[in-house]
Amino acid sequence: MIISQVGDNISEQFENIHLHINKTTFLQGERLWFKAYVREQKTGLPSLLTSNLHVALFNKEGEEVKRKLIYIQNGLGQGSFAIDSTMTDTEFTLLAWTNYMLNFKKLTPFSQKIKLVNYDTVSKISSEPTIQISVYPEGGQLIEGAYNNIGILVNNGLSKGLAVNDLTLIDDSGKVIRNNITTNELGMGKAGFMVEAGKSYSLQFDKADFPTISKSLPEAYKIKSV
């Protein structure tokens, strides 16, 4: 949050932080990639106020194990962490915050749980086909009454990305909004659509040899009229 003062009037400018990460389960030797979005909470537009973003990994005991200071320009930034031998726990938390947020208890940092598995564990996991779908709205949230882009990540349940070409976006009435949505060999894809007021949306994957999988999109943010 940033506070600006004009005369005797003080206005609060809240920001939302979102990290779009390549996946949430890793083997040692892999790399966690992320793209950072910092948006104005009121308008949903890229923030022009924040230039530095702290991104760090914490272990189960709450101890910081890695941190980076990411340069934010026009609300965007990016970076990565090596998943190396110094990370011996099986669970970590990825946090992102600005210095301003530390001054206000009601503002919470972006948080995402990260899991590490070893090769022995992977060999014991069932080989039955599974599909996991993750959705990342651009800017961290959907905006009602606007054209929105979403990032999509599809993996096989063992953090290996899958290339698919038959994801379908539907609304809560079952109407098809987009079909034949694709992801690349890393399991990453993108889709854009107009979010209507009062509507909810989900992604569906329906293919032979796999159960039908549905992933609900987050509720859209309603912009208050001035």
- Locus of tokens 């892999």: 30
Question: What is the model's pLDDT at position 8?
Answer: 37
User: Would you state the pLDDT for residue 1?
Assistant: 41
What is the chain's mean pLDDT, rounded? 82
**pLDDT tens, 10-22?**
345 678 888 988 8
Contacts of 31 by beta carbon, 8 Å cutoff, 6+ apart: 80, 81, 82, 83
Which pair of structure tokens corresponds to residue 179?
């079909």
Q: Which long-range contacts (CB under 8 A, 24 or more apart) does 71-75 make?
A: 72/36, 72/38, 72/47, 74/46, 74/48, 75/37, 75/38, 75/39, 75/45, 75/46, 75/47, 75/48, 75/50, 75/139
Residues 24, 48, 15, CA angle at the centre, nearest 5°?
Answer: 55
Which structure tokens are listed for 84? 């190396």
Cβ contact 35:20 at 8 Å: yes
Cα–chain center distance at 86: 25
| pLDDT the model gives residue 3 | 40
More confident residue, 57 or 222: 57
pLDDT digits (tens, 9 = 90+) for 40-99: 877 878 888 889 999 999 999 999 999 999 999 999 999 999 998 889 889 999 999 988
Q: What is the pLDDT of residue 139?
A: 76
Average pLDDT over residues 121-145: 72
How far apart CA 218 and CA 150 sit, in angstroms, is: 11
| pTM for the predicted model, two decimal places | 0.54
Give every CB contact of residue 149 below 8 A, 6+ residues apart in sequence.
137, 138, 190, 191, 192
pLDDT band for position 209 (cuts 50, 70, 90): low
Domains and CATH numbers, the chain: 2-123 (2.60.40.1930), 127-216 (2.60.40.10)
Residue 107: pLDDT band by 50, 70, 90 thresholds?
Answer: low
Task: Please tell me the distance from the alpha carbon of residue 162 to that of residue 167, in angstroms, as a whole number.
Answer: 12
The predicted model gives 198-221 an average pLDDT of 84
Give all strands of the β-sheet with 167-171 in edge-to-edge order.
176-181, 167-171, 201-205, 213-216
Q: How distant, in Å, are the alpha carbons of 22, 80, 92, 181 from that of 71?
A: 19, 13, 23, 32
